[in-house]
Chains A and B, each alone.
Chain A
Amino acid sequence: MSYDRAITVFSPDGHLFQVEYALEAVRRGSTAIGVRGADCVVLAVERRALAKLQDSRTIRKIVSVDERSVLAFAGLTADARVLINKTRVEAQSYRLSCEDAPSVEYLARYIARTQQKYTQRGGVRPFGIATLLAGFSEPENGEEKGKPVLYQTDPAGTHSSWKAQVIGGRNAKSLREFLEKNYQDDMSEELAIKLSIQALLEVVDSGAKNMEICVVREGGVKSIMAEEEVDTIVKEIESEIEEGKKSTTTEGDDEE
């Protein structure tokens, strides 16, 4: 008997195949990277080559789900649209009931709960997307400012907080290792942006037009970096790599 058709059926060795296939759909999606700095979160996404006749402005991979929370996803774009719309309604509903903004954690929990629901109902399939949710926590215990937070959800319906994370793309595993090697706590905004672009350059062809970088600052304010700015940093990184190659014999020695 095939254990991978109906979502609600376990296989004998405890797998939910539909969920695993959904994870595979995420891997086929374009890469999204999130890096948490000392006072910002950077979201960097791969922009796959568009058809010549397509208007690039209509492809949005980094979206606001609330005034104070920003989301990037990897996987099936149509599924993402549905899940994002549900989350937006939930955020406004929370604001209407509680007269306050929902925390990033609340929204991540909501997305995860929704994704899990679709793994336990008959006749539906899971959402084929993983999301990265970025924002700031509320200041507590006499703090002046909130702290940056980065959450990830996946098709299985789990959510967790990360210092830096990669979703989507065939090389997610090696990118995660790259981030583990080069991540430092409390990075400045500049360093966090540089790290995200460095990581993204491992999978995309060089050039600002293949990536979209978004910086989320205090208060959840979203700011998409201009192409020229991104280009400058890309050139900086590439020249550093060149110098690294010239001065040492070991290959690909990125600075820091």
Chain B
Amino acid sequence: MDTVFGVEYDGGVILAADQANARSILIYQSNLDKITHLSSHSAMGVSGPNADLVNFTEYIAKNLALYELSNDGLKLSTHAQAHFARGELATALRKGPYQVNVLLGGYDISSSKASLYTIDYLAAMTKVHYGCQGYASNFCLSIMDRDWKEGLTKDQAIAIVEKCIKELQVRFLISQPNFIIKCIDKEGVNVIKYGADPADN
């Protein structure tokens, strides 16, 4: 039921996710931040049961921090981070699978390029220019197919994301009033806007 999507543009990636934490017919909270920061210039938008979501993202984030610390501050590329995350999902698959679908976006300072990877809960991964997880894909992929092109600016990418959110809010059965939108570029991972402040407890 979660919605997570991402759009790559020239110099960065926009990640957006709905903010509902729900199970069955009950909404536990509506200000959840499902886009976890992995390193200074990468983040993972995740959909799935809250337990797996938190467990998996914290585990990956701490292991990436360990790598950086153990290697004298060397930052792992987005490519490496995505493959590491996929590897962990794959290993857990036949033991105790994480039921999480991931969109991992990051900016590599060394090459000045941004990249976006989509990984599903069976640990199938592809590098994409834009992606959707959940029912949202039925509504949003067609919009992205039509509007995405090479060399988008940040504002154009945000416009595509907002178009997708509007489409969902009109046509998707499940009401998702709050979305959090983040941008990953050379400045790092920053919040562009949110429907409800994740810090409010």
Interface residues of A (CB under 8 A from B): 60, 63-67, 85, 88-89, 91-93, 95-96
A-B pairs with lowest CB-CB distance, top 8: A92-B66, A96-B62, A92-B62, A88-B69, A88-B70, A95-B62, A96-B58, A92-B65
When distances are taken between beta carbons in the complex, the residues of chain A under 8 Å from B62 are 92-93, 95-96
When distances are taken between beta carbons in the complex, the residues of chain A under 8 Å from B58 are 96
Query: CB < 8 Å: which of B59, B63, B69 contacts A66?
Result: B69
A60 touching B72, Cβ below 8 Å: yes
How distant is the Cα of A60 from the Cα of B72 in the complex, in angstroms? 9
* Secondary structure dominating the interface of B: helix
Q: Interface range on chain B: under 10, 10 to 19, 20 to 34, or 35 or more? A: under 10
Nearest-neighbor residue (CB-CB) of A85 within chain B = B70
Extra pairs beyond A88-B70, A96-B59 (12, CB < 8 Å): A60-B72, A64-B69, A66-B69, A67-B65, A67-B69, A85-B70, A88-B69, A92-B62, A92-B63, A92-B69, A95-B62, A96-B58
Query: CB < 8 Å: which of B59, B63, B69, B72 contacts A65?
Result: B69
When distances are taken between beta carbons in the complex, the residues of chain A under 8 Å from B69 are 64-67, 88, 91-92
What per-residue 1/0 map shows which CB atoms of B40-68 lie under 8 Å from chain A? 00000000000000000011001101100
Closest Cβ of chain B to A226, distance in Å, is 17
How distant is the Cα of A64 from the Cα of B74 in the complex, in angstroms? 13
CB pairs A–B below 8 angstroms (22 shown):
A60-B72, A63-B72, A64-B69, A66-B69, A67-B65, A67-B69, A85-B70, A88-B66, A88-B70, A89-B66, A91-B69, A92-B62, A92-B63, A92-B65, A92-B66, A92-B69, A93-B62, A95-B62, A95-B65, A96-B58, A96-B59, A96-B62
When distances are taken between beta carbons in the complex, the residues of chain B under 8 Å from A89 are 66
Question: Within B124-149, which residues are at the interface with A (CB < 8 Å)?
Answer: none
When distances are taken between beta carbons in the complex, the residues of chain B under 8 Å from A85 are 70
Closest Cβ of chain B to A216, distance in Å, is 15
When distances are taken between beta carbons in the complex, the residues of chain A under 8 Å from B70 are 85, 88
* Secondary structure dominating the interface of A: helix
When distances are taken between beta carbons in the complex, the residues of chain A under 8 Å from B63 are 92
How distant is the Cα of A91 from the Cα of B72 in the complex, in angstroms? 16
Nearest-neighbor residue (CB-CB) of A95 within chain B = B62
When distances are taken between beta carbons in the complex, the residues of chain B under 8 Å from A64 are 69
Question: Within B162-182, which residues are at the interface with A (CB < 8 Å)?
Answer: none
Nearest-neighbor residue (CB-CB) of A84 within chain B = B70
Question: Within B62-112, which residues are at the interface with A (CB < 8 Å)?
Answer: 62-63, 65-66, 69-70, 72
Nearest-neighbor residue (CB-CB) of B59 within chain A = A96
How distant is the Cα of A64 from the Cα of B66 in the complex, in angstroms? 11
Closest Cβ of chain A to B12, distance in Å, is 26
How distant is the Cα of A95 from the Cα of B58 in the complex, in angstroms? 10
How distant is the Cα of A227 from the Cα of B151 in the complex, in angstroms? 44
How distant is the Cα of A91 from the Cα of B59 in the complex, in angstroms? 13
Give the interface centre of B58, B63, B69 by most chain A CB atoms within 10 Å. B69
Question: Within B4-35, which residues are at the interface with A (CB < 8 Å)?
Answer: none
How distant is the Cα of A17 from the Cα of B62 in the complex, in angstroms? 40
How distant is the Cα of A92 from the Cα of B65 in the complex, in angstroms? 8
How distant is the Cα of A89 from the Cα of B59 in the complex, in angstroms? 12
Nearest-neighbor residue (CB-CB) of B58 within chain A = A96
How distant is the Cα of A10 from the Cα of B62 in the complex, in angstroms? 42
How distant is the Cα of A95 from the Cα of B61 in the complex, in angstroms? 11
When distances are taken between beta carbons in the complex, the residues of chain A under 8 Å from B59 are 96
How distant is the Cα of A109 from the Cα of B70 in the complex, in angstroms? 20
Nearest-neighbor residue (CB-CB) of B64 within chain A = A92
How distant is the Cα of A63 from the Cα of B71 in the complex, in angstroms? 10
Give the interface centre of A85, A93, A96 by most chain B CB atoms within 10 Å. A96
When distances are taken between beta carbons in the complex, the residues of chain B under 8 Å from A63 are 72
When distances are taken between beta carbons in the complex, the residues of chain B under 8 Å from A93 are 62
How distant is the Cα of A67 from the Cα of B66 in the complex, in angstroms? 10
When distances are taken between beta carbons in the complex, the residues of chain A under 8 Å from B66 are 88-89, 92
Closest Cβ of chain A to B26, distance in Å, is 25
How distant is the Cα of A64 from the Cα of B58 in the complex, in angstroms? 21
How distant is the Cα of A65 from the Cα of B70 in the complex, in angstroms? 8
